[in-house]
Structure 1
Amino acid sequence: MVLLLFTCIFVIELGMVSTSTAINWVKLQAEGQFVEDICPAEDVRFVKESVAAAVTCGKICNEDKECKAVTYQMDDHKCTGCREFLKSLPTVNSAGLLKFAKREHLFDCKEILERDRFADTGVYTIAVGGTETLQVYCDMRTNGGGWTVFQHRLDGSVNFQRNFSQYENGFGDINGEFWLGLKYVQKLTEMPSEFKYEITFSNDGEQPWNERFSRFQLVGPRYVLSIDDRLYSSGNNYGETFATFNESPFVALAEDSSTSCLSGDHMWWSFTAQTCNYVLNLNIVYGTKTKIRWAPESDSYRILKASTMMIRRI
């Protein structure tokens, strides 16, 4: 388990009055033994002795345009600057070696909004897990904003009939219809996160469905859904809930559905039931009917018009 700790170093810019710029760093701490410094000898930019504190070490690196990461030895106050970003997760050893890397991007949409409360809804670049950059669509208005959208459908312009690998890695147009990627959603929800979805059906006059949950996570290589604690729901959803899929794996096109009720064109979380009923399949072929309730009445199906699924770190 990796614990992410955030450090900000504030510097007053010359020529600016009462203005400060946050220099974003990330310190990653993991269990295990110390495994050498973060950069080889040829990539060392500088070594400075008797540096008073880690924050001072960071400032020295920030002032050097070629420095991308630093180590700070707490026992002898040695500061080492590197030319390269981290290639893998750094560690903190028992002797107290701290390792930091500059962050050019924030971690998620919530952190973007926390830094700029006037941030607009739209596309931003984040650093997933502190290292891998990814373009995401941020909803900065719904329920206080700071939501990272991972599914959006509105016009059928993107084909959602995809295999497991494509659902894992993501597809579509981040400015239009898209699926962000299961592996990214899993990474983003390693920290406690809430979940919200909204569905609009083609039936004129029907209120959109909304549900919001205080806990959401994807577990393991099959991205098993872990969801709990519904905060609210609205719309005429007949008592159905996304929580139906709790503890279910994600199933995609052309997979063996022997342990799943989903098959054919259904890419979704599944659940085991003798009757193989299912609800709220938001990845179904656009313009076709999806079942929305258990009972067999004639109004138990709806045609999806638009849907949005999003997560937010708590």
Structure 2
Amino acid sequence: MKAVQLETTYNAKKLQEMQNRDISKEIPTDRPYRHQRVLKKHIIELEKNSKAMHKENIHMKTKLLRLEEEIRLLQKNAHVQDSLRKYDRINGNEIENYIRTNKVHHVGAENDDLLLNLTTQQHKNTESIANLTKQLNDFDKLHLSLLELLENVESIEYKVDNTFPEIRKEISKVEVQANEAKAELSNLQGEMKNSRNTVKAIGVSVSNLQDKEAEDHRFLKEVDSRVQNLIRSNSLQTSKLHDHILKAESVSVDSNATKSTIHLVQELKSFEKEYKNIVNKLPYDCSSVSGPNGIYLISPGGGEPILANCEDGWTTIQKRYDGSVDFNQNWNDYSNGFGSSTGEHWIGNRNIHHLTKNNCSVLQINMKDIYGKYWQANYDDFRVFDYSNGFKLVVDRYHGNASDALDYQNNMEFSTVDNDRDISNTHCASNYEGGWWFSHCQHANLNGRYNLGLTWFDSSRNEWIAISNSEMRVKSRETC
């Protein structure tokens, strides 16, 4: 019996040590398992240990049943001995009863001690079995948890396996896009470099053009100066010729007239003819100019040539943009013109009359207001009468976005600070410091004082437009 008790105690301790060792092996506290194969391996080991503990539990239960059977036999034997002892006492066999009683008491005491030890050991075994059962249940729970964890890991690995090709595709797309962006950036850098070179080349070209324009401007000034000198010389020579002719007519010319006088008259006539030929070869207006846009010498009236700004067949007759030229001029200045064709200027009412006297001209007025908005007024019929009619204005057939403001001044004569021809009670040209075809003041006035009197009435909004830039230009109609 003692051997059985010792074996049972040893097996219980061994199972407890195995349990503690397996638990400490299976679930380390420093870090969780992160791989499916490792989890499977530990689950298999746990299953093996669980089976071994289950076998040990069955073996211990078998031994416990044997112990319980032996205890029952011992208890039964003790009960029989006690009955025999009572029976012998009744028969009065003192000697045998004494011996038997002493033996029985001796055997009974040993059995009682053994029974107590067995009972104690049985309680211990029962507690050990209960602990083992609880631990087996814990193992089962741990087993289930590990299985669930394994399923979760497998699910995650499945998702990773499924999404990994997509991730690779996205990475490939990103790499392709990055390469495309890099190539595009390289192209842009090349284009920027080319643009810089182009800008530099354009800058050089603009500088050369500016130099050429300045040179052309100087040349035009020289030509203009020469023409003016020729005109003055022609006038002087013509005057002298007329004087000689008058003198020749007032006195009788005899056959002894000097050859020098005749030669001088011939030279003057030749010079006058040559001058007229030169003037007649000049274009009538810019529509006859075949060269690029720029400043050209034209002769609209067959008299003195003038310099005009030509652009796509249009002849500029007025230009304002910075207030550098004073437009508060008198009647003669407005008649003959003032300013420079390369800047702010008025081409002159006489020249406008010659340009439009055939009643085959169109007028275009381009304007920009002080807010930077552009406006345009077009008149398909435009004419200015001669000096004797006060340079009267006639316009018709308007179209554009600036409103027909000149309709208020149609058929009006030109007014200047020294020649008031408007129908207003006030002197419009004097008040607004510029000549114009005034009726009543300020419906339209592009020749007033800069930053004060440049206005155009917009009837669609019933308000005046404050003008900062203006350009008036004329052109012959294609069909008349």
TM-score, reference length from structure 2: 0.39
Seen in structure 2, the aligned counterparts of structure 1 residues 179 and 301 have a Cα distance that, compared at 3 Å, is same
Q: Deviations over 1:226-257 (max 9, x none)?
A: 22223x21x3x3x3332332110000114345
Give the RMSD, CA atoms, in angstroms.
3.2
Aligned to 2:448: 284
Q: Whose relative contact order is higher, 1 or 2, with alpha carbons under 8 Å and at least 6 apart?
A: 1
Q: How many residues align?
A: 210
Aligned to 1:128: 300
Q: Deviations over 1:106-149 (max 9, x none)?
A: 2111111xxx2xx2221100123234211111122xxxxx1111
CA deviations over 1:277-312 (Å, ceiling 9, x no partner): 5312000111115453387x8x82333211111111
How many angstroms apart in 1 are the aligned matches of 2:422 and 2:367?
29
| 110 and 289 in structure 1: CA distance in 2 versus 1, 3 angstrom threshold | same
- Which runs of 5 or more structure 1 residues have no equivalent in the other structure? 1-39, 46-65, 69-81, 89-99, 141-145
Corresponding residue for residue 243 of structure 1:
407
Question: Contact (CA 8 Å) 2:367, 2:374: kept in 1 or not?
Answer: no
The match for 2:335 is: 168
Q: Which residue of 2 aligns with 1:308?
A: 471
Instruction: State the one-letter code of the partner of 1:209.
Output: Q
Aligned to 2:419: 255
> Which residue identity does 1:249 align to in structure 2?
E
Greater share of residues in strand: 1
User: Helix, strand or coil: the match of 1:203?
Assistant: coil
Q: Residues 191-270 of structure 1: matches in 2 within 5 Å?
A: 191=358, 192-204=360-372, 206-221=373-388, 222-230=390-398, 232-233=399-400, 235=401, 237=402, 239-256=403-420, 259-260=423-424, 262-263=428-429, 264=431, 265-270=433-438
Q: Is the 8 A contact 1:211 1:241 kept in 2?
A: no
**Structure of larger gyration radius:** 2
Q: Single out whichever of 171-180 and 187-196 deviates more from structure 2.
A: 187-196
For residue 76 of structure 1, what is the aligned residue in structure 2? none
Q: CA deviation at 1:195?
A: 1.3
Measure, in 2, the Cα distance between the counterparts of 1:185 and 1:289.
22
The whole-number CA distance in structure 2 between the counterparts of 1:286 and 1:123 is: 25
**TM norm structure 1:** 0.58
Pick the aligned partner of 2:270 from 69, 83, 86.
83
Q: Contact 1:291–1:300 at 8 Å: present in 2 too?
A: no
- Quote the residue 2:209 is aligned against: none
Q: Among all aligned residue pairs of Structure 1 and Structure 2, give the percentage whose two residues are the same amino acid.
A: 23
Looking at secondary structure, tell me which structure has more helix per residue: 2
User: Do the aligned partners of residues 292 and 258 (structure 1) sit closer, same or farther apart at CA in structure 2, a change above 3 Å counting?
Assistant: closer
Give the direction of change, closer, same or farther, for the CA distance of 1:107–1:256 in structure 2 (3 Å limit).
closer
- SS of the residue corresponding to residue 165 of structure 1 reads helix
Shift in CA distance, 284/249, structure 1 to aligned 2, threshold 3 Å: same
Instruction: Classify 1:246/1:308 alpha carbon distance in 2 versus 1 (closer, same or farther; 3 Å).
Output: same
Residues 365 and 378 of structure 2 are in contact (CA less than 8 Å); yes or no, is this contact kept in structure 1?
yes
> Which amino acid is 1:218 matched to?
F
- One-letter code aligned to 1:226: V
State yes or no: 1:159 paired with 2:326.
yes
Q: What is the Cα deviation at residue 43 of structure 1? A: 7.6
Moved more, 242-251 or 123-132: 123-132
CA contact (8 A) 2:329 2:434 kept: no
Task: Indicate if the aligned counterparts of 1:219 and 1:226 stay in contact, CA closer than 8 A.
Answer: no
Match of 1:190 among 352, 357, 361: 357
Q: Name the structure 1 match of 2:162.
A: none
Residue 271 of structure 2 aligns to a residue whose secondary structure is coil
Q: Distance in 1 between matches of 2:351 and 2:414?
A: 14
Query: Contact 2:457/2:465 (CA < 8 Å) preserved in 1?
Result: no
Amino acid in structure 2 at the alignment position of 1:279: H
Q: Is the 8 A contact 1:277 1:294 kept in 2?
A: no
**Does structure 1 conserve the Cα–Cα contact (< 8 Å) formed by 2:316 and 2:473?**
yes
The answer (yes or no) to whether the contact 2:377–2:404 under 8 Å persists in 1 is no
Secondary structure, in 3 states, of the residue corresponding to 1:243? helix
Task: Give the residue type in structure 2 aligned to 1:213.
Answer: D
Which residue number in structure 1 is paired with residue 40 of structure 2? none
| Whole-angstrom distance in 2 between the partners of 1:136 and 1:226 | 23
Q: Which SS does the other structure have where 1:208 is aligned?
A: strand
User: Residues of 2 paired with 1:287 and 1:44: CA distance?
Assistant: 55
Paired residues of 1:290 and 1:301 also in contact (CA < 8 A): no
- 2:264 & 2:299 partners in 1: Cα distance? 23
Output the amino acid matched with 1:304: I
CA distance in 2, matches of 1:291, 1:220: 26
For the structure 1 residues 130 and 249, does the alpha-carbon distance in structure 2 shift closer, same or farther, using more than 3 Å as the test?
same
Are the equivalent residues in 2 in contact too, given 1:43–1:83 (CA < 8 A)?
no
Give the counterpart letter for 2:296 in structure 1: Y
